[in-house]
Structure 1
Amino acid sequence: MKKSLLTFAALPLSLYAFGLFRTLRRKTPAGTSFRGPARLDHEAAFLYDVTYQNGDKREEQIFPAILNVVAEAESFLLLDMFLFHDAKESKFPPRAEVLTDQLIQRKREVPQLQVAVITDRVNTVYGGAPAKHFQRLEHAGIPVIFTETDQLRDSNPLYAPFWRGIFSRINRKEGGSLINPINPKEAKVPLRSYLELVTFKANHRKTIASEKEAIVASANPHNESAWHSNVAVKFSGTMIEDLLRSEQPILHWSPRPLPAFTNKRTAVKNEEGDVKARILTESRIKEAVLKAVQAAQAAQGEDILWIASFYVSERTLMAELKAAAARGVDVRLILDDNEEAFGRKKGGIPNRPAAEELAKAGVNIRWYQTGVEQFHTKLLFRESEETAQLILGSANFTRRNLNDFNLETNVAFEGSPAAPVFQDASAYLERLWENKDETFTCASTDQLSKRRLKQSAYQLQERSGLSTF
């Protein structure tokens, strides 16, 4: 009897082991992890949003710039936005509705305009809840392309064999009997929505491109994210073609026939001439970030290494930051406290335990003073007397965002510190760090977690993939 039970148990265990083996050996999809050529004709501008005084005051540059790209497009518009959701009963500005209206209006004004919106299925709770703004876009002749994230490597490898082998075969349907996990006040969803949610994979990009200019940002056109503090870069020239190339895999995965978005334009004049810029996606972002940290030296004009981010937890980067501090580099981090997200308590993971670890190694840390919003920035900046490096975009500094699990897009700049894009980024960071004209950050050690349980939970989640960060 015992032998029969063992034989019976061996089959599912063998199938699971085989599925886990395939999961761990799954390769990065072709065309992702993109590193564009260095460009000089970009005319880049640094943009930011900041919210302060407990959410009562706000300075906003990014969303108006996005709307301007739409308003001036004449040939094409390609958007790739992670959160593009019009939450019901929201007290926040209607970002999704405004952008939807603007896209439809521009399509009517210029009927020959090619427009497409790439997004993540999280906006429909993985097919379980309707999204009326997407229906409006489709009705206006603007295709909405949901990213086929099953093409990606598996962020949650222990769960992946069940998802790929069994649960993914369940058909998507709207409506169900379970509470909406994204917004409990909205329509209920089926079990399948939960089963896909815990794959912990996403198209996390935040980009928009026309034939004239493009924006890569940390900001989403999402109502409940409207007051978040964010950063972005606006640029023109041949780097737009590189951005379009980086989007081709997602368009290729779609079963829908779609136009080939290209932008064969002559280079525009670059007034700076000494700042190289390139598009980076996925693990190419990590590669550039690690090189920038490694390049920071205390003996070379007193380098300052900045990171301003919603999440910092990737273990290789953590080690490099500690090594930089050990060799005397002035390492400065501005972090969100990760206490709350969209009204839900988060317990400070990963930033609190990560910050405790880094502070012990001599890294300087300040905490952005948030209200109902988040410090959602994702930025690295190295400044010295001779050169500066700036890397910003959609990618948090975590395993999911940097190790080829999510889809991410950043832009990397390198060149003379006197260039406007670096001067503006430096002024932004100094303003937050020094609390110039307003209170933005604090150095309170109360934000650090002394609990072993929280430190252990952070380490386990970061290394295993059993996390939402």
Structure 2
Amino acid sequence: MARLGRTIKWSGAVLLVAWAGMGLWQSIKPLPENVGKAWPERPVGEVEFLADRTWYDEGGRRHLDQHIFDEAVAMIEGARRLIVVDMFLFNRLEGSGGGDFLPLAERLADALIAARQRQPAPRVVVITDPLNTLYGGQRVPLYQSLEAAGVELAITRLDRLRASNPLWSGLWHLGLDRLGNDPDGGWLPNAFGGEPVTLRSYLALLNFRANHRKTLTVDHAEGWSTLITSANPHDGSSLHSNVALRIDGPVAHDVIASEVEVASWSGVEVSQPPAPEAEPSDGAMAQLLTEAAIRDAVLARIDDTVAGDRLDVAAFYVAHRGVVEALKEASGRGVAVRVLLDPNREAFGFEKGGLPNQPVAEELLDAGVQVRWCVTDGEQCHSKVVLVRRGPAKDELADAVILGSANLTRRNLDDFNLESSVLLKGRGVVAIDDIGAWFDQRWDSSDGRRTSRAWAPRDEASWFDGWRYRLMEASGLSTF
């Protein structure tokens, strides 16, 4: 018995050391090429701002005004030789709440299948996150239809990424990751809707890794175009408010290069097409940013503001401590800082506790930052925008906006998730003015068009919520 006891103790000690070592390695391991990269600034041919707007009238009725996937379908219909799609959520699942959802997933899939049926047919590559298959625990008829039409499907290999939740991932990579999965073996309720799933699906989910990108790139008769957005072709997300930029010109070449890297992890090889050329339109310049390069660009833009500038942020999540501190400091310098936030109270039919935005909102308000909540009823205020409009003292400097997939959180900005955003800058750029008008309309809510509301005492977060948010953000033990 004594020998058995010593064996158990030594085995436990070895397991703990291996667990800690693997968790550390997964947190710091080298990343693949082109992850966390700021690509060169490129001239823009044409650029258009698109938005999916959700608002409420005096009677509380929801209204939708959507344009993003109209543009996506039009781009696919005009494609000639290559279509590359990378979308985080691309499925029909609706969660547990139900609702009058729109068939976004089927609409995008139908457009891609129709493209493959043309003669000559463009090559179509779809990159997506394994969450859509519940990490191999569920068959997706939508994907079977795409593959039957000749669409090449790349389910992202997330093990190439670092661990945002090392406490779990350290144990996961000691052997649990080799368990595989069984799409016919489901027996647990599916939190996302649909057929039952296996325990292995939930164990994989706890790593909290994701390919969170949302891009579409095509070649057409006039050259190359890319769509960079916060929107998912996901039925359960179809009522959300979202934003996008369609950009013509060489930045599309950079988006293709960044997606070629991710597709190759899953064995789908795409040859890089020749770089397109473009004459600048309105003096606009665009720069593709991925992963931590988004963080660096956001902080640089915030830190560069001075009294007289206006800094507007619209975000589903704000949690990154560096960003929170930068916003507070900008307000202290006399910058007019406005932050429009989702209340983080609902997600796909589930009630949430208001983290991280509730305690962060109070912290920002205490520092003099103006904060408003999006008015929502089950859907999400899902946009991710950082907009800098220069004051009269800086007429020689450009206005700028950063827009795309990345929430302002550690997971999204510190090289854990895959993310794609774009920095667009210039003086007198119509698309930037359009984004400013969009923000003002959401901020300036009216009785007939309720889009946002002021912070109220009922929104007050407890001290426990504040510390819980900080612990969850720092440790990775969270879904934000």
TM-score (norm: length of structure 2): 0.93
CA contact (8 A) 2:186 2:195 kept: no
Give 1:47-446 correspondences, 5 Å limit: 47-53=50-56, 54=60, 56-87=62-93, 91-184=100-193, 186-211=194-219, 212-256=224-268, 258-265=269-276, 267-272=277-282, 274-298=283-307, 302-385=308-391, 386=395, 387-416=398-427, 418-435=428-445, 438-446=449-457
CA contact (8 A) 1:42 1:277 kept: no
Cα offset for 1:171? 1.5
Amino acid corresponding to residue 66 of structure 2 in structure 1: E
- Deviation track 1:380-428 (CA, whole Å, cap 9, x = no partner) reads 0010132311000000000000000000000101221x21011101111
Cα offset for 1:219? 0.2
CA distance in 1 between counterparts of 2:458 and 2:408 reads 19
CA distance in 1 between counterparts of 2:160 and 2:237 reads 27
Cα offset for 1:157? 0.7
CA distance in 2 between counterparts of 1:348 and 1:42 reads 41
CA distance in 2 between counterparts of 1:352 and 1:364 reads 14
CA distance in 2 between counterparts of 1:243 and 1:5 reads 52
Give 1:35-54 correspondences, 5 Å limit: 35-53=38-56, 54=60
CA contact (8 A) 1:75 1:113 kept: yes
Amino acid corresponding to residue 369 of structure 1 in structure 2: V
Q: Aligned-pair RMSD on alpha carbons?
A: 1.7
CA distance in 2 between counterparts of 1:14 and 1:153 reads 19
The counterpart of 2:472, out of the listed 456, 461, 467, is 461
- Deviation track 1:92-133 (CA, whole Å, cap 9, x = no partner) reads 111111111111111101343111100001111111111101
Amino acid corresponding to residue 466 of structure 1 in structure 2: L
Cα offset for 1:448? 3.0
CA contact (8 A) 2:314 2:340 kept: yes
Amino acid corresponding to residue 45 of structure 1 in structure 2: E
CA distance in 2 between counterparts of 1:462 and 1:18 reads 21
CA distance in 1 between counterparts of 2:336 and 2:452 reads 18
Structure 2: runs of 5+ lacking an equivalent: none
Cα offset for 1:199? 0.3
Amino acid corresponding to residue 426 of structure 1 in structure 2: G
CA distance in 2 between counterparts of 1:459 and 1:378 reads 21
Cα offset for 1:4? 5.3
CA distance in 1 between counterparts of 2:225 and 2:399 reads 24
- Deviation track 1:410-456 (CA, whole Å, cap 9, x = no partner) reads 0101221x210111011111111112662211113246333122112
Distance 1:94 1:261, change over 3 A: farther
CA contact (8 A) 1:229 1:375 kept: yes
CA distance in 1 between counterparts of 2:19 and 2:353 reads 33
CA distance in 1 between counterparts of 2:151 and 2:55 reads 36
Distance 1:182 1:249, change over 3 A: farther
CA distance in 2 between counterparts of 1:447 and 1:305 reads 27
Amino acid corresponding to residue 179 of structure 1 in structure 2: L
The counterpart of 1:27, out of the listed 13, 27, 30, is 30
CA distance in 1 between counterparts of 2:108 and 2:301 reads 35
Amino acid corresponding to residue 231 of structure 1 in structure 2: V
CA contact (8 A) 2:404 2:422 kept: yes
Amino acid corresponding to residue 419 of structure 2 in structure 1: E
Amino acid corresponding to residue 232 of structure 2 in structure 1: N
Cα offset for 1:241? 0.4
CA contact (8 A) 2:43 2:278 kept: no
Distance 1:192 1:167, change over 3 A: same
Q: Secondary structure at the match of 2:422?
A: strand
Distance 1:154 1:55, change over 3 A: farther
CA distance in 1 between counterparts of 2:211 and 2:264 reads 14
Q: Which moved more, 1:164-173 or 1:394-403?
A: 164-173
Structure 1: runs of 5+ lacking an equivalent: none
CA distance in 2 between counterparts of 1:375 and 1:430 reads 15
CA contact (8 A) 2:137 2:184 kept: yes
Q: Secondary structure at the match of 1:165?
A: coil
Cα offset for 1:347? 1.1
Give the number of aligned pairs: 461
TM-score (norm: length of structure 1): 0.95
CA contact (8 A) 1:277 1:413 kept: yes
Distance 1:4 1:77, change over 3 A: closer
CA distance in 1 between counterparts of 2:458 and 2:143 reads 40
Q: Secondary structure at the match of 2:260?
A: helix
- Deviation track 1:242-300 (CA, whole Å, cap 9, x = no partner) reads 111111221221134x33242433x233331x2221100000000000001101111xx
